[in-house]
Structure 1
Amino acid sequence: MDRLPRAKRHSCGVQTAWSDAVTAEAAVADIASVLDAADLGQLLVFYSRHYEPEPLAEGFAAAFDGVPLVGCSTSGEITPGGYADGSLLVVAFPKIGFSFVSGLIPRVHQLTVEEGTETLRSLRAKLDRLDGGGSNHFAISLIDGLSKCEEVIVSAISLALDDIPLVGGSAGDNLALKGTSLLHNGGVFRDAALLLLVATDLPVRIFNHDNFEPTETKLVVTASDTETRTVYELNAEPAALEYASSVGLEPSSLVPMSFAAHPVVVRVGGDYYCRSIQRVNADGSLSFFCAIDDGVVLTVAEPKDMLHSMAAEFERLDAALGGIDLVLGFECVLRRLDAENRQIKHKMGDLYRRYHVAGFQTYGEQYNAMHLNQTFTGVAIGAQAAG
């Protein structure tokens, strides 16, 4: 097969570029060599844990002096060439056609909804003051994926942004669960969150997609630690033992692939949302990627056909936009593991390439006021201005 291009210019003016160079310095140099830097307005950067974030931050500051940047570590990248591992991906927005405001929320462990809302309202006001900012708005959140604070953050964002829709992802480290990081304008941050507000006259659609259906099997959380997102008992039985029994597995065989193939969901309103299991602990408890509490009713779910359901979602978006030019995508790492287990990963990669997806595998996805798991959230951008 011919080598796929390492850079792409989209009709909307956005450029995407990616590199799998061994060092951070070499990867940034690769990116700088293929991007047209004449009129860049914002860089969105996703990088493998293979790269140390400090050299990345220094490299970008030197190569793209004065260009605003937000980014985070990943559990895998989605490039316009398909799935990637161990790479650096950059989405470079032009000044023309887009306006941006970004902000950092530090020390998220100490954050309250009220404090976060006050901070973020100033960002919203700044966006509103931009001349010619564009009539279509959306927001992108990037959050420390090991902070366990996503619910507080998205609640604050939702209250502050009013009618601006939000999508985003929790930074990953390829399931090492040792440390994630964020980049913002030359700095490296942990225990933090980033918010990027975007205005454009291009047609956009935000969306959230999953591929599971609830069954009749229920698991009630009867003992848990909310702060650490740890469940000790389900249905008054040891959590790992009861979960394994409910999905027909041996407790000793539970691995991330098991959780990807057998998700559990909660009902909010009339819809079901996934609450993914992160790992089995030595004491038989289960750690989760999302908030959990005593009394929560979990429903075991069965996955639908991931490939065809995702293709149908893209077809819907393509028709609504009159053609998709770019998708900024945030996909749970467990979806990728499930695709690998079902031996459809290459077909999923082909589908993402066909619809020009650029993004990363996450430890959780944000969609408006919700923090989710095992979903694909994103913003699809059309090529032509509305009207």
Structure 2
Amino acid sequence: MGQAARAITHKCGVRSAWTTLPDPQAAASALAEAIGSMALAQLVVFFSPTYPADDLARALAARFPGAPLAACSSAGEISPDGGLDRGLVAIAFPQKGFRIVSTLVRDLSAFDAEQTAASVSALRCRLAGEQAAEGGRFALTLIDGLADAEEQVVSAIDRALAGVPLVGGSAGDDLSFRRTALIYDGEVATDAAIVMICDTDFPVETFKTDNFEPTEVKFVVTASDDGARTVRELNAEPAAAEYAMAVGLDPRNLTPMSFASHPLVVRVGGEYFCRSIRRLNADGSLSFFCAIDRGLVLTLARPKDIVEVTRAELERLEASLGGVDLIIGFDCVLRRLDAEIRQKRRTISSLYRQYGVIGFETYGEQYRSMHLNQTFTGVAIGFAESAP
């Protein structure tokens, strides 16, 4: 049946609400009741693909008339009470202490980098006169996770942000890879991205963390369909067979769990970033969550303890900000699968509750100019020295 909405009011004034009611109208009504009457600078919602996007868009527009809305489907929702089983989570930013502007970038399949950069630059200029003396700025992106355009989009947006730190996530659909959806001010959009820029009176810090380290095993991409993010050959051998041999598995038995346990990474500027495999194809090729070009050198990685690595990053944020009020987090769905394999999901969920993480499980994560996989990114909001 699901539960009526629960809510938390954070010290910065942000109100987080969540529900697992299955009917879109009932769920939207429950969220509205839980959030209550407040002047909204922005409402951000992450929702299970079990909710029809068109129905949910109408329901949210009816229950939050006139409120700026940005939403996306997910591969799992993260509430302050832990992960949800097919639900909705909402982040209600009040006008007091937060100034937020946003835009919708359409037609990613025919992406125009210059037009997008100009649009984001204009967006940033709308906040030009609003300098937060004791706070900070950050940008959030929600991107269609099946448009295969994140690298281009994030690069153009980051360039136009002129130093404003960016984090975000790629919309998911519970690993079915059929259709993801965004909702922007009542409109359902695919092949699109939402960009939000926030100026706040509270201290903020963006972050990223992962739990893998490189091994000595290398693969060279020797044949690929670059536009489709599909690798046909690794080391001049069929891709799935070569990868499976390296990790000690039968190529016929490769699953998302296999890919989560044995990630591939690429070295950029002296640092390693994950390039996760999305699926095994019938012809023995491998499709990825990120762009993969011929000639790229991939390194097999081994996981580190996901709990200890994540705890260390959250403790660092707490020390840096002098306390964490809440965290808006974008967590790769493959991290969840890896945590389940290693029986660490309950501990990770407890850690997220401790630090007030709210967000969703993604098909990819954005951090500044990079599109990443198998990573936890986000923005932590701290405590102001005096209330605004």
TM-score of the pair, normalised by structure 2: 0.97
Tell me the CA shift for residue 196 of structure 1. 0.5
Paired residue for 2:330? 330
For 1:356 and 1:73, locate their aligned partners in 2 and report how far apart those are by CA, in whole Å. 21
1:101 corresponds to which letter in structure 2? V
C-alpha separation in 2, matches of 1:272 and 1:70: 31
Q: Residues of 1 paired with 2:283 and 2:359: CA distance?
A: 36
Give the match for residue 379 of structure 2: 379
Q: Is the 8 A contact 1:101 1:126 kept in 2?
A: yes
- Tell me if the contact between 1:78 and 1:361 (Cα under 8 Å) persists in the aligned partners: yes
In the alignment, residue 92 of structure 2 is paired with which amino acid? A
RMSD: 1.6
Aligned counterparts, 1:1-387, within 5 A? 6-130=6-130, 135-385=135-385
Letter in 1 for 2:359: G
Contact 2:222 2:234 in 1 (8 A): yes
Q: How many pairs are equivalent?
A: 385
Q: CA deviation at 1:132?
A: 6.5
Q: 1:160 to 1:241 in 2, by over 3 A?
A: same
Q: CA deviation at 1:17?
A: 0.4
Q: Which amino acid aligns with 2:26?
A: A
Cα deviation for residue 114 of structure 1 reads 1.9
Whether the 8 Å CA contact 1:37–1:64 is kept in 2: the answer is: no
Measure the CA separation in 2 of the matches of 1:386 and 1:106: 40
Residue 61 (structure 1) shift? 1.1
- 2:132–2:201: 8 Å Cα contact kept in structure 1? no
Partner Cα separation in structure 2 for residue 201 and residue 16 of structure 1: 18
Q: CA deviation at 1:119?
A: 1.8
- Gapped regions of structure 1 (runs ≥ 5): none
Distance in 2 separating the partners of 1:86 and 1:44: 17
Q: Do the aligned partners of residues 133 and 145 (structure 1) sit closer, same or farther apart at CA in structure 2, a change above 3 Å counting?
A: farther
For 2:127 and 2:372, locate their aligned partners in 1 and report how far apart those are by CA, in whole Å.
27
User: Structure 1 residues 77-86 or 280-289, which shifts more?
Assistant: 77-86
Please identify, of 174-183 and 34-43, the stretch whose mean Cα deviation from structure 2 is larger: 34-43
- Give the Cα–Cα distance (whole angstroms) in 2 for the partners of residues 108 and 180 of structure 1: 14
Q: Report the residue type matching 1:366 in the other structure.
A: Q
Residues 35-91 of structure 1: CA deviation (Å, up to 9, x unaligned)? 122222210100000101111111111111111010100000110001112000000
Cα shift readout 1:176-209 (whole Å, capped 9, x = no counterpart)? 0000000111111000000000001201010000
Secondary structure of the residue that 2:227 maps to in structure 1?
Answer: coil
Counterpart of 1:70, as a letter, is A
Query: C-alpha separation between the residues in 2 aligned to 1:100 and 1:286?
Result: 40
Q: What amino acid does structure 2 have at the position aligned with 1:183? A: I
Aligned-partner residue type, residue 164 of structure 2: I
Shift of 1:236: 0.2
Opposite residue 104 of structure 1, the aligned amino acid is L
1:383, distance to aligned residue in structure 2 (A): 2.3
8 Å CA contact 2:46, 2:89 repeated in 1: yes
For residue 227 of structure 1, give the secondary structure of its aligned residue in structure 2: helix
Distance 1:4 1:192 in 2: 31
Q: Is the 8 A contact 2:4 2:27 kept in 1?
A: no
d(CA) in 2 for partners of 1:5 and 1:115? 40
| Inter-CA distance 117–133: structure 2 relative to 1 (3 Å threshold) | farther
Cα distance in structure 2, aligned partners of 1:370 and 1:239: 25
Q: Could you tell me how far 1:113 is from its partner in structure 2?
A: 2.1
- How far apart, in 1, do the equivalents of 2:86 and 2:190 lie? 20
SS at match of 1:164: coil
Question: 1: distance between equivalents of 2:69 and 2:129?
Answer: 21
CA deviation after TM superposition for structure 1 residue 121, in Å: 1.1
Q: Distance in 1 between matches of 2:89 and 2:298?
A: 36
Kindly tell me: are residues 131 and 60 of structure 1, through their superposed partners in 2, closer, same or farther at Cα, counting changes over 3 Å?
farther
> 2-side partners of 1:118 and 1:305: how far apart?
42
Deviation at 1:261, TM superposition (A): 0.3
> 1:126 Cα deviation (Å)?
1.2
Query: 1:253 Cα shift?
Result: 1.1
Contact 2:323 2:383 in 1 (8 A): yes
Counterpart Cα distance in 2 of 1:160 and 1:190: 23
Amino acid at match of 1:174: D
